[in-house]
Amino acid sequence: MPVQLQSRAYHAHSNREAIESLNSNAEAGLTPEEVAQCYEQYGWNELQFRAGKPAWLKFLLQFNQPLLYILLLAGIVKAFLGSWTNAGVIWGVTLINAIIGYVQEAKAEGAIAALVKAVTTETTVLRDGQTLRIPSRDLVPGDLVLLASGDKVPADLRLLKVRSLQIDESGLTGESVPVDKSIASLPLDTPLAERTNMAYAGSYVTFGQGHGLVVATANGTEVGQISQSMESRVSLSTPLTRKFAKFSHTLLYGILTLATLTFAIGLGRGEDWVQMFEAAVALTVSAIPEGLPAVVTVTLAIGVNRMAKRNAIIRKLPAVEALGSATVICSDKTGTLTENQMTVQAIYAGGTHYRVSGGGYSPKGEISRLSNNTTVEPFEYGLPPVLTACLMAGILCNDSQLKQTGKDWSVVGDPTEGALIAVAEKAGMSQAGLGACC
């Protein structure tokens, strides 16, 4: 099995030490022979996941609920007494409950697997003195990666050259503001969030350019370590599952107590023990709410579907209820929760104020002139030249791009630059059109 090289201490190395430790070349990169050796030693640059539970086991685990144990046992007793219709109804309820839960969890796991496979990026590398564009899975430790605005960092990198480089590491550190990068070595005990000479897999370049040395790939990256720790997590119960288990045990003890008392009192009055046993079983089955597990499962399934429509994937059905049980949400710093979006709302150019409508990064909106800073006046003969020049400068001096996904718009790069592109498109300008003209 390939070894996993980790990027634990490379922030404390100088550029020369990092390059020498991986037998790379700062000017030409790795040779084809060295790349082939690295493939054998480290494997492909893609996360490796443990095999999941087989389908039959996942289905059987749907019956792992205290109340379902009672229903299954009641169904067996009913069948033993010859009441096949009642037994069939009870077993049918438990089976439908298990099928609904299994289908919903299978959908969620399928969506997660599709997301993992969809994360296929390309990256620019320097190998044997040539600049190549290759899939990120082909990277090996020692490769030299070239970063530019909008790129996704394909592996853990020790930065060798930077030019106004800023990287969004919010997915790893939680810091929403892009981090300014440098190349100077840092103390060994520097926390991960403060390692400004490193670029980590899964983060995004929002501004500038840089060169980095691949120091960790696949599960050896910081993201890979998080993935491995998640696979070894313990099973935690949600408020709903705890209440459901408590109710099931209380109900079970109460029903068994009543059934035992009924059987004992009947025998004490001289009744036939077979009839009293049937009466106790009938009491037990009638007191069990057969529809409760199905109702709970269907309700949670509806919640999962609604969350899915909002692009949130819920793997386990009870987890959809956990968010509703939250009573306190903690946030750092000022406590402000934002969408991390920027929108141009006003422009001052050529001594004139202009107002911009619309929100987010959507190009839908209008630009209008303000008279006395209060009255909105439309443009009679098109945009003024000074306003056109202002918008053109904002869209041309720009390393970012707007991306549309369905009805939603997002920016690949710096949020401020994305806002400048959006306001220019509201005036009918586009990056593609102006780039072709220039």
Instruction: Give catalytic residues, as residue numbers.
Output: 332
187 vs 199: CA distance, rounded Å: 17
For residue 149, the surrounding DSSP H or E stretch is none
Residues 227-240, buried b or exposed e (16+ Cβ, 10 A)? bbeeeeeeeeebeb
The residues facing 124 across adjacent strands are 133, 146
For tokens 């550029």, the residue is 15
* Dihedral sign of CA atoms 383, 387, 390, 395 in order: negative
Cβ atoms of 419 and 342 closer than 8 Å: yes
SS3 412: strand
Write the CA distances from 246 to 240, 243, 254, 287, integer angstroms. Answer: 10, 5, 12, 17
Other Cβ atoms closer than 10 A to 380: 6
Residue 410's DSSP bridge partners are 403
List the Cα angle 186/129/400 in 5-degree steps.
65
Under 8 Å between Cβ of 253 and 38: no
Which residues does 160 contact at the CB level (< 8 Å), separation at least 6? 15, 18, 19, 26, 144, 183, 210, 211, 212, 213
Retrieve residue 88's tokens.
């069939």
Specify whether the CB–CB gap between 356 and 345 falls below 8 A: yes
| Residue at 433: amino acid letter | G
Note whether 45 and 217 are within 8 A (CB). yes
DSSP letter, residue 413: S
The Cα–Cα gap between 128 and 115 comes to 33
Residue 404, SS3 per DSSP: strand
Q: What is the DSSP string of 254-284?
A: HHHHHHHHHHHHHHHTT--HHHHHHHHHHHH
The answer to whether residues 121 and 179 touch, using CB atoms and an 8 Å cutoff, is no
Q: Residue 1 is inside which H or E element, if any?
A: none
